[in-house]
Amino acid sequence: MSHAPDPAAGGPSRPAGLDPNLEAEVSEGLPPGFGPGVMGRVAFWLAVAFSLFQLWAAAYGTLPSQVVRAMHVGFLLLLGFGLVGNLVAKTRGGQAFFWLLGLMGFGTGLYQWIEYTQILRRTGFLNQTDLIVGTVLIVLVFEGARRLMGWPLAVIAGCFLAYCFFGQHLPPPFIHRGYGFEQIVEHFAFGTEGIYGSPIYVSSAYIFIFVVFAAFLERAGMLNLFNDFALGMVGAARGGPAQVATLASALMGTISGSGVANVVASGQFTIPMMKKSGFKPAFAGGVEATASMGGQIMPPVMGAVAFIMAETLNVPYARVVQAAIVPAVLYFGVVFWMVWLQAGRDNLKGLPKESLPNPWAAVRAQWPLVLPLAALVYLLFAGYTPIFAGTMGLALVTVLILGAPLAALIGPYVFRLFFWIVLGLGAASFLRYGVDLLAIIIAGLIALCALFKGTRPTIGIIRDALAQGARNALPVGIACAIVGVVIGTLTLTGIASTFIGAIIAIGQNNLFLSLLLTMLTCLVLGMGIPTIPNYIITSSLAGPALLELGVPLLVSHMFVFYFGIMADLTPPVALACFAAAPIAKSTGLKISMQAIRLAAAGFIIPFMAVYTPSLMLQDGGAIAEAYGYPVEVAFVLLKTVMGVGLWGIAVVGYFLDRTTLPERLLALAAGVSLILALPMSDGAGFLLGGLFIALHLMRVRRLAAA
């Protein structure tokens, strides 16, 4: 255990928001950091306080859920507007104005906490102060979302809010009975149907914990471990640098769940390496963007949407992970395959094997970092709640970071080993004795680190990770807050039933058209808003409609989730591609076109899952009834792999050698036949695929002989 990473080397002990290791943070709409001077330090410590409050609320759960949600939004507004003041405002007056807005936002949370019992008693009969506080909250959430997320999401939510006020003047079928100002304010600013609805509950209960957990693992050196492991595993393969980018992003996605953050964190290392080995800048950026976005569907942590999905569908989180496993493997398999084909076409080799690290040596040297992630996976699949699993995983990585420099002070190896065994047994006993024991252990480790000069910087690493986690959670949290306005409109007015009826009417004649309409809705919405609000809005509208058409609810939600991710690769916005642009030194549009090409086969996987739900390990069909469920899963997986593989060959124009136009058309026809869920299409697909392989092999052998 003496080889555990030394967190003391990972960052400075100064608290300013000015830690250079935090400068790579990405937060939509804001420059990195916390700002200069005194107010920068105030924002930094406010972020630390935000994280500590959320961890305390998650660990002990003594506050009512409504209060936790209100304080979560209050902290989001205070920190968000404070950072806008520090990083965007040009004058002292502007800075003071934004901090005032933040304090007002925080005040709305305190008001909900102080008046919690009285507000419950006044339900339906709010007083004047309640209405003022509620109005201020709605206005500040809109302004905060505009500042942090840009105009599109605020405009979309504003249209929904305007519909509540003026929908009674619209023609059928959009007309509603009309609602008063007091009723609208109460619906959106109080209770659990509007801003404090399910999305903000998931943000406060699950997402925040896992964002901080990822920040702690990154500070402990997990990103370096992933990069070393990926280099050693696939660096020598054809197109090695791009394969490294894909594997590193997949591994990073297991703990991060943020596509844009993955692009910035991994891309600094992988994109220059790809360019140096011969890949074009746009292709290098496209590989990183495509692989990084896949992190949102990569178990065990996945993206924030997975937690929202579990809460919305009222299913265990493990069921969502189960449904995502095969599509996630296929997604990254497609990227590996497309890179392999492109590298073959461009005659690009791998990296020299002697220059690469030994992947297993990297794991042996830093294996303690894997323990918190392993504990998290165990707890998630053992039936514990994501709140408990995330909190315990975070506590364990904190123990690891604090314990490493203390262990380094112990001379003989036997005593170091004894120290880690005792510490490990104490930390693991939380399952029996609860969170209090872990809190005592962490407090004791902090006290010990404070005693020795060489270990004091480790406390700074914990502090910095808390601040970084809170800052990274800002865009997600504010998006969940404002999307509550959209959900609140759907529940108040019932307009969702109109949209659902339209999709059902289309789907009665053709389910494929309904799926196509849903996909286009996701892609169009995704041009302006992030994956989380995109999923929430589209699933609220399309999920029940697709259920009526016979699509399992979990599959329909995964369908929406999948295309919400694809939207971040689709022009003209393509957020992940534009994040990669300055690193690749190419345009976001060129990178986006390459990303679509790389993920082309990935666009068809959700459609296949709808027609064959066993691809997401859901209920079987006719093959399962005749031959058993494992046979159906194996057949569907074989069909999908072959289909997307042939599709990729048709797109790139290369297999064992460059393909001719007739061969590309044959591969395309075979891939399409395998994708279609028609009685004769599978047989035709396998036949055409076999014919393509045979013709291509014969031509390649003739060329080799010549």
Contact 458, 405 (CB under 8 A): yes
Are the C-beta atoms of 584 and 271 separated by less than 8 Å? Answer: yes
Taking the C-alpha atoms of residue 138 and residue 346, their distance in angstroms, rounded to an integer, is 54
In whole angstroms, what is the distance from residue 397 CA to residue 394 CA? 5
Q: What is the pTM of this model?
A: 0.77
Name beta bridge partners: 48: none
Instruction: Pull the structure tokens for residue 380.
Output: 């998630």
Give the separation between CA 625 and CA 613, rounded to whole angstroms. 14
Separation CA 555–CA 340 (nearest Å): 30
606: CB partners within 8 A, 6+ apart = 327, 519, 558, 559, 562, 563
pLDDT at 12: 34
Largest CA distance in the chain: 90
Alpha-carbon distance values, 602 to 106, 138, 337, 596, 647 (Å): 43, 39, 11, 9, 10
Q: What pLDDT, on the 0 to 100 scale, is given for residue 527? A: 62
DSSP-derived letter for residue 67 is H
Distance of CA 95 to CAs 83, 152, 470, Å? 9, 25, 21
Name the one residue in this structure whose structure tokens are 């001379």.
411
- Taking phi over 0 as left and psi of -120 to 50 as alpha, with beta for the rest, 178 belongs to left
- Answer whether 248's CB lies under 8 Å from 226's CB: yes
> Which spans in 221-369 are helix H?
222-234, 240-253, 259-276, 281-293, 304-313, 317-345, 359-366
Residue recorded with tokens 């709010």: 126
At 27, the amino acid letter reads: S
Q: Is there a cis peptide before residue 572, judged by omega within 30 degrees of 0?
A: yes
Q: Which residues of the chain have pLDDT under 50?
A: 1-28
Interatomic CA distance for residues 376 and 184, integer angstroms: 41
Q: Is the Cβ–Cβ distance between 259 and 292 less than 8 Å? A: yes
Task: Give the containing element (helix H, strand E) for 628.
Answer: none
pLDDT at 23: 36
DSSP state of 369: G
* Positive/negative CA dihedral, 60, 63, 69, 71: negative
Alpha helices per DSSP H over 452-510: 456-493, 496-507
- Neighbouring residues of 290: CB distance < 8 A, sequence distance ≥ 6: 335, 569, 595, 598, 599
Q: Which residue has the tokens 């399992």?
A: 552
